Structure 1
């Protein structure tokens, strides 16, 4: 078996040679052929599962926004179902390509590392015939595949982590199921790529602590579609209680649903909707749902907590609009798409002061930040906003403005393209010399 660290290309120098297929006279503004590598997070996946969340949305929306800018985008993701065709058009200008790497079945992402070598080999073989102008990988295992597949070819290679093993290990300790080599591989990718496209300031500092220079990173946040997520439009039906709080996201412990439930005991006349997780038909069998239900019973709030299960993407904006406040009390959050969706819908936030939420939630402007893991402080912030409808409305308007100014996918794609162009420009002398 080929060891994980063995090169796919024979290039004794180890330098990124200029690929023969690229025209060194390319005009700086020409459309690009862009390869997005997202090994476990398919843009076609149903959201809400343990391994299907913000990264899937990010890759799908970034691909579409890049295509809107005239580029040709191919998303490479692992085939996890034998019935999937090789390629599926996602929308005009975007193709999703299913890579045969490992068994054609759904596997937890933490079990996919052994299949990244065949994933990379497949990419390298395919790209010999149809080489992209830029490769942009998403998540650390995709980064390994992208790094190995482009090694020695001169193909510009950028990487977005979406989450870091050092942070996960710090917070989860022995409960962290990541492969033990994750941090070492993340460092390898960060040092080996041309550019890191980080999503927030906190990530850049975490990378610096790993030995990846701050100057190697561009900060380009995640985005949201302000046309789909907007303040006006139908809202989901509400119950008889005066206030509604919404906690939306994957049902994994780090997202803090237990904190939201504990805070609810201090908030009378209020219901808590917990959206996400498995399909409604599978809720009773889900261990995390059972744990959270038990916590709600112990706290005496089970009659005021409603679990929806997985929510179709088209229904999320209406659910957002039905809430008085959106809660994001994660223990840690590499970036967090939910705050952007709430802001775009004009809903104020109470969020933990961690990760990307330190960038998206401006304390006292569009929401309130509280320390993670503190139900009393979460409840106090919620009480403050529930008692002041005018302040909630002001925060909601500010959040919408902030989204339009900073977080539309058009702006995100434009900033991402700037990173691509900078790396291409740095490669141009090498291509000309070849």
Structure 2
């Protein structure tokens, strides 16, 4: 059986949704499904030994969606792949898919929402206008051909029920964990790399550098803790919100925390994150 997973953000981005999609694609492929991930064009190289295919399309970035480019490329990708199942992740790709969804009525369509809503400010964040995002999300769900909407928690389920005007089939399936990545004898080199002392306490804030993740609040909180407490921000390398990151760096200097806040000097992939967690004391 052929499965097409559509997502505008994917590995090597390290985020909850992106890591989950990667693990689902990998797990299905290892169970003899033919999986193709259709995602945005990235300058980052993917590993060469992945068990599934990746199709990159242009103009498919959440922050800069270009319908003139991404819509025809997504349509053609689905024609070429000809999957039995189409699994779409997040509102932005679903908005584009709905432009030509009637052409794929014979497919089983599933929708998973990872976009974190924050009523009444945000539904998915791309439009930067809550009312417009709410209306677009409602329309996408109500006219959509999805057999089921899959979410990871009750919070996401409740948000979709608020958005949708029509009753939906919503399934809660929590994100899974690949326990092979977290072996008991895993040895992380990071505490040595960060020159931590034996009694140092490393706080990990693995979130992307965006306002709603509360990174500035974590920095301020650190200033109230003993000096042996350190904070590591693994997503601070090439951060998504550059202006917000500048504010964070200014705050770090103002609070004299340069020696206690550890910024990333590289991008940490999903494969490396277990070592990051192993080195940490508080997450």
* Equivalent in the alignment of 1:170: 120
Q: Computing the radius of gyration over CA atoms, which structure comes out larger, 1 or 2?
A: 1
Matched, 1:291 2:243: no
**What secondary structure sits across from 1:325 in the alignment?**
coil
Structure with bigger helix share is: 1
Matched, 1:138 2:89: yes
Alpha-carbon displacement from aligned partner over 1:140-193 (angstroms, at most 9, x marks no partner): 1221333344315321111112115xx2463469xx552654333322332212
TM-score normalised per structure 2: 0.81
Matched residues in 1 for 2:47 and 2:140: separation? Answer: 28
- Whether the 8 Å CA contact 1:207–1:213 is kept in 2: the answer is no
Matched, 1:273 2:235: no
CA separation of 1:214/1:321 partners in 2, compared to 1, >3 Å: closer, same or farther?
farther
* Equivalent in the alignment of 1:224: 177
Query: How much does 1:324 deviate?
Result: 1.3
Alignment of 1:396-411 (within 5 A): none
Matched, 1:262 2:212: no
Identify unmatched segments of 5+ residues in structure 2: none
For residue 9 of structure 2, the aligned residue among 38, 41, 58 is 41
Matched, 1:311 2:260: no
- Whether the 8 Å CA contact 1:245–1:271 is kept in 2: the answer is yes
CA separation of 1:113/1:206 partners in 2, compared to 1, >3 Å: closer, same or farther?
farther
- Whether the 8 Å CA contact 2:252–2:261 is kept in 1: the answer is yes
Which of 1 and 2 has higher RCO (CA within 8 Å, sep 6+)? Answer: 1
For residue 66 of structure 1, the aligned residue among 19, 22, 28 is 28
- Whether the 8 Å CA contact 1:124–1:150 is kept in 2: the answer is no
- Whether the 8 Å CA contact 2:237–2:264 is kept in 1: the answer is no
- Whether the 8 Å CA contact 2:148–2:168 is kept in 1: the answer is no
Alpha-carbon displacement from aligned partner over 1:316-364 (angstroms, at most 9, x marks no partner): 22221122111xxxxxxxxxxxxxxxxxxxxxxxxxxxxxxxxxxxxxx
Moved over 4 A (4+): 87-90, 212-215
Query: How much does 1:113 deviate?
Result: 5.1
Matched residues in 2 for 1:244 and 1:233: separation? Answer: 17
Matched residues in 2 for 1:91 and 1:144: separation? Answer: 28
**What secondary structure sits across from 2:203 in the alignment?**
strand
CA separation of 1:95/1:325 partners in 2, compared to 1, >3 Å: closer, same or farther?
same
Matched residues in 1 for 2:233 and 2:260: separation? Answer: 11
Matched residues in 2 for 1:204 and 1:223: separation? Answer: 17
Output the aligned Cα RMSD. 3.2
